[in-house]
Chain A
Amino acid sequence: MNDITRHSAAELSHALATGELSAVEVTTAHLERIAEVDGEVHAFLHVDGEGALAAARRVDEQRAAGEELHVLAGVPIAVKDVLATRGLPTTCGSRILQGWVPPYDATVVARLRAAGLPVLGKTNMDEFAMGSSTEHSAYGPTRNPWDLDRIPGGSGGGSSAAVAAFEAPLAIGTDTGGSIRPPAAVTGTVGVKPTYGGVSRYGLVALASSLDQAGPCTRSVLDAALLHSVIGGHDPMDSTSIDAPVPPVVEAARRADVQGLRVGVVRELGGEGYQAGVRQRFEEAVDLLVGAGAEVVEVSCPHFDYALAAYYLILPSEASSNLAKFDAMRYGLRVLPAGVDEPSAEQVMAATRDAGFGDEVKRRIILGTYALSSGYYDAYYGQAQKVRTLIARDFEQAFQQVDVLVSPTAPTTAFRLGDKLDDPMSMYLQDVATIPANLAGVPGMSLPTGVTDEDGLPAGIQVLAPAMKDDRLYGVGAALERLLLEKWGAPLLAHAPVLTAKGA
């Protein structure tokens, strides 16, 4: 085990600033850790050791030259493979983009590079972010560092597992309905979905444009805040990006104050369908907040019951259109139809899409194509948009009573690989608590509440705040994190089994 990889990003930042560690040392340590354990975890689809070390060397040179550097300069990071990285393969976990190397950087990636964070590589994900287990990756599943037979959540299981397995101190995930938060919950890490429009989507290969949002995957709330402030803020390349300063997330995380804060427990997100241990840890966490001076009330958001149904119309509709561009004409996979002498462009498109997309992607393209069809549009897509408005109103009314809302992040702890592959509905239900935030565009955070008694696996609490009040998540999250740490005596991940190179 390597000590450097056990540090938080904030600690590494301090060690780098004082000269205790160099960026090359920190990056090398993480590359070694990846080499040691990723054969088991499979968090990465592509590791860019050379590029990361070059970036680290540049930071060390700049520091030696006395240049003013970003607080996270020299702290390495892993990036979900759904963000375009110039010169680095970007597959979105799909066969159809195998070998595609983008000629440009996503804005998030450009900001990471500008701040001097060496990019370690690209992390595994469910194909085009469709899934809740990372089992729908065309390149094989990622395994949960807590139990290699279990899923790390999804779609961003690679990013959360990389952070949980100490392969990276920081990672970028994306969250369309829960691709950052439930993976954080089941891997014992922290994950934040910022306010929609708070982080640029330019270069994020769209699943559902109106729901997608990139955000931090970390092991501490402060680390998430530091990363959030690097990637957040207005981007003229994204029309839907909010033209306002990033909320004061780092200050809120440092203050970690819940005195007098009004916390609402969402009645509809809990109870039936939620694992007993998940509920128990959640309730204890809420009690800790009460003990720290928060006022807790129960609030009702009645339309949340329809969120999953609305989501599974809006998402596939947008996805069916967003994924149309993968047609073998300009980039990516090209498959010629068997037994056709001179295939037309349309035949090549069809053959390629048939071979290049996995079943879950095809399922959702078909769903979305159907929902948008003339004669069905009003009944499906149109109706779902109405539900979306009602859910946004539920949030507005709830936030008139309370400052933040809380719920368990995911209904269960990590399930076993393969358990839900043949049961899409059961898989979709993993995101039942996180989807409302995406539909309304409000920010959400998941942080660990402990391990459950029944299976010893991590569970998480979700905190939700009004749009552009992301700082509230960090205030509550950091306060709760400190209280839990006092209770446990050590970070939760210290209890995770030790991963060692197997068969290496």
Chain B
Amino acid sequence: MTGTATAVDEVVDYDEALRRYDPVLGLEVHVELNTATKMFCGCATAFGADPNTQVCPVCLGLPGALPVVNERAVESAIRIGLALNCQIAQWCRFARKNYFYPDMPKNFQTSQYDEPIAFEGHLDVELEDGEVFRVLIERAHMEEDTGKSLHIGGATGRIHGADHSLVDYNRAGIPLIEIVTKPVTGVGERAPEVARAYVAALRELLRALQVSDVRMEQGSLRCDANVSLRARAVDGQAQDDVPLGTRTETKNVNSLRSVERAVRFEISRQAAVLDAGRPVVQETRHWHEDTGVTTSGRVKSDAEDYRYFPEPDLVPVAPSRETVAQLRATLPEPPGLRRKRLQGDWGYSDLEMRDVVNAGAVELIEETVDAGATPAAARKWWTGELARRANAEGRSVEDFGVTPSHIAELDGLVRSGRLNDSMARQVLDGVMGGEGTPTEVADARGLTLVQDEGALEAAVDKVIAANPDVAEKVRGGKVQAAGALIGQVMKEMRGQADAGKARQLILDRLGAA
């Protein structure tokens, strides 16, 4: 089949689909480990290096070269397994997965087959409304990444229509952990949310373990979403007794939002196929972020046979009980428990905490509070001002060059009375512009609240005198009317006054305090 004509799939309204079918998920997540060197050789793993500069006879698969297992990668794999509540194999082997592809130097991938390093675990994931689902983990196994093909010419960047292809083997041999769930059943209409929440929870866990950069946009965390539909159980029948339908595997799902959208789309698409009385084809599908649809990739026929066999160039991995116990002792506090603890420490409401988690700002706030800011101020800056600016510019807050210690310093300047909020925002502009630390920016820009009580009192008196009507209202008990006077005082002071102090003075003068 050629890719010249892309058929537009029919879809059924999502709610309609859910009335007739029960969705079942299976999620396969590939995580690139952040080890300094590759899985089976000493080459560097840095992202973004010039093509084919981080290669050697081993990861290029030159004749005669042999792999040697990266012990650090095995440790990371075991820690991931333990954090996912898995059992750790006492003895396991690598296996060769044989298939021909130009980006795979040996034309087999060194992976694990029926002896994964970790198996039988679970991860509890919390949805936005606080409901918790337990996702069962089938296995987590070690393997090596492939190189990257770059297809030149043609419109799509895909192989079809390309003039020629270039291969970069820098990525070949980077350690990967593949984490596979058992079929996720019983989630019904919430399947897309569960898929997203699972990947988010996994990402949070892996980040806490410090084993991966987990940057979906750079491919250090990649998700393949398997979706199938089965008929709704009829009267007296348990849903789990209804046989599973044929699944599709959607690849190229590179953001949390895409995970949710891709699953949702597949449910609607497969429902339309089944409604039309046709069978769902077992195939790989590609997710298109721009159009929000999946399209057919390669058909996964029964003929696909990877001819797995134990890798004879490597010795078995046999971690001792002591090693596993030592690694277990290095596990971080589980993210869910940690969130609850931090929420208590910080005094956030459930809603506030959820906003912080969804914004991915837990670590930032923790570091900011550690650096001396109040929890309220830390949250206000990161999920308020900075998040707003990031959204407006389509960037990530991490890209601003603003650190938790900057925010703590800024909060200190506000609390000490040197800056008011609007001045603090100007200081933030300077910090983002690379002008220095908040104190340096405030100094350089001459931003400081006027501390001269006399000047403030004079301004207050002037404004009261100029607005007798408003002053009368305040005297009469309408305290909120003071706001108009405060604004004018601030204007008189060219913004460099403490609004709180101005308000107090006005109320004092008018006997309304």
Stretch from B20-28, B58-66, B221-229 that touches the partner: B58-66
Measured CA separation A374–B304 after assembly (Å):
9
Report whether B106 and A318 are in contact in the complex, using a CB–CB cutoff of 8 Å.
Answer: no
Q: Does residue A240 face the partner (Cβ distance < 8 Å to B)?
A: yes
Report whether B307 and A369 are in contact in the complex, using a CB–CB cutoff of 8 Å.
Answer: yes
Stretch from A21-29, A231-239, A394-402 that touches the partner: A231-239
With both chains docked as a complex, state the minimum distance between the C-beta of A103 and any C-beta of chain B, in angstroms. 7
User: Which of chain A's residues have a CB closer than 8 A to the CB of B60?
Assistant: 330
Contact with A along B380-414 (1 / 0, CB 8 A): 00000000000000000000000000000000000
Measured CA separation A209–B110 after assembly (Å):
14
With both chains docked as a complex, state the minimum distance between the C-beta of B110 and any C-beta of chain A, in angstroms. 11
With both chains docked as a complex, state the minimum distance between the C-beta of A315 and any C-beta of chain B, in angstroms. 11
With both chains docked as a complex, state the minimum distance between the C-beta of A9 and any C-beta of chain B, in angstroms. 25
Measured CA separation A1–B436 after assembly (Å):
85
With both chains docked as a complex, state the minimum distance between the C-beta of B169 and any C-beta of chain A, in angstroms. 9
Stretch from A197-205, A254-262, A298-306, A478-486 that touches the partner: A197-205
Range of interface residues on B (Cβ < 8 Å): 20 to 34
Looking at chain B's contact residues, is the secondary structure mostly helix, strand, loop, or mixed? loop
Report whether A381 and B66 are in contact in the complex, using a CB–CB cutoff of 8 Å.
Answer: no
Q: Does residue A377 face the partner (Cβ distance < 8 Å to B)?
A: yes
With both chains docked as a complex, state the minimum distance between the C-beta of B248 and any C-beta of chain A, in angstroms. 21
Measured CA separation A299–B64 after assembly (Å):
38
User: Which of chain B's residues have a CB closer than 8 A to the CB of A90?
Assistant: 63-64
Report whether B102 and A345 are in contact in the complex, using a CB–CB cutoff of 8 Å.
Answer: yes
Measured CA separation A369–B108 after assembly (Å):
13
Q: Does residue A426 face the partner (Cβ distance < 8 Å to B)?
A: no
Looking at chain A's contact residues, is the secondary structure mostly helix, strand, loop, or mixed? loop
Report whether A206 and B96 are in contact in the complex, using a CB–CB cutoff of 8 Å.
Answer: no
Select A84's contact among B63, B68, B96, B165, beta carbons within 8 Å. B63
With both chains docked as a complex, state the minimum distance between the C-beta of A131 and any C-beta of chain B, in angstroms. 18
Q: Does residue B312 face the partner (Cβ distance < 8 Å to A)?
A: yes
User: Which of chain B's residues have a CB closer than 8 A to the CB of A285?
Assistant: none
Measured CA separation A374–B305 after assembly (Å):
6
With both chains docked as a complex, state the minimum distance between the C-beta of B310 and any C-beta of chain A, in angstroms. 9
Q: Does residue A329 face the partner (Cβ distance < 8 Å to B)?
A: yes
Report whether B307 and A205 are in contact in the complex, using a CB–CB cutoff of 8 Å.
Answer: no
Q: Does residue A92 face the partner (Cβ distance < 8 Å to B)?
A: yes
Report whether B67 and A239 are in contact in the complex, using a CB–CB cutoff of 8 Å.
Answer: yes
Select A104's contact among B62, B96, B313, beta carbons within 8 Å. B62
Residue tally, chain A, CB below 8 Å to B? 44
Within 8 A of A (CB), among B417-473: none
User: Which of chain A's residues have a CB closer than 8 A to the CB of B62?
Assistant: 84, 102-104, 330-331
Measured CA separation A320–B68 after assembly (Å):
21
Within 8 A of A (CB), among B40-77: 57, 60-69
Q: Does residue B360 face the partner (Cβ distance < 8 Å to A)?
A: no
Measured CA separation A381–B108 after assembly (Å):
18
Measured CA separation A203–B65 after assembly (Å):
5
Measured CA separation A325–B165 after assembly (Å):
18
- For A235, the closest partner residue in chain B by CB is B66
User: Which of chain A's residues have a CB closer than 8 A to the CB of B102?
Assistant: 327, 329, 345
Q: Does residue B513 face the partner (Cβ distance < 8 Å to A)?
A: no
Report whether A239 and B63 are in contact in the complex, using a CB–CB cutoff of 8 Å.
Answer: no
Q: Does residue B167 face the partner (Cβ distance < 8 Å to A)?
A: yes
Using known A-B contacts A373-B305, A381-B309, determine if residue A321 contacts B98 with beta carbons closer than 8 Å.
yes
Residue pairs across A and B with Cβ atoms less than 8 A apart, 15 shown, are A83-B64, A84-B57, A103-B62, A202-B66, A206-B313, A209-B313, A239-B315, A318-B312, A321-B98, A325-B61, A325-B107, A327-B100, A327-B102, A372-B98, A372-B308
A84-B62, A202-B64, A239-B314 known, 5 other contacts, Cβ within 8 Å: A239-B68, A327-B100, A329-B167, A345-B165, A381-B309
Closest 10 CB pairs of A and B: A324-B107, A209-B312, A372-B307, A210-B312, A203-B64, A205-B63, A84-B64, A205-B64, A374-B305, A345-B102
- Seen from chain B, the residues whose Cβ lies within 8 Å of a Cβ on chain A are 57, 60-69, 96, 98, 100, 102, 105-108, 165, 167, 305, 307-309, 312-315
- Seen from chain A, the residues whose Cβ lies within 8 Å of a Cβ on chain B are 83-84, 90, 92, 97, 100, 102-104, 106, 201-206, 208-210, 236-240, 317-318, 320-321, 324-327, 329-331, 345-346, 349, 369, 372-374, 377, 381
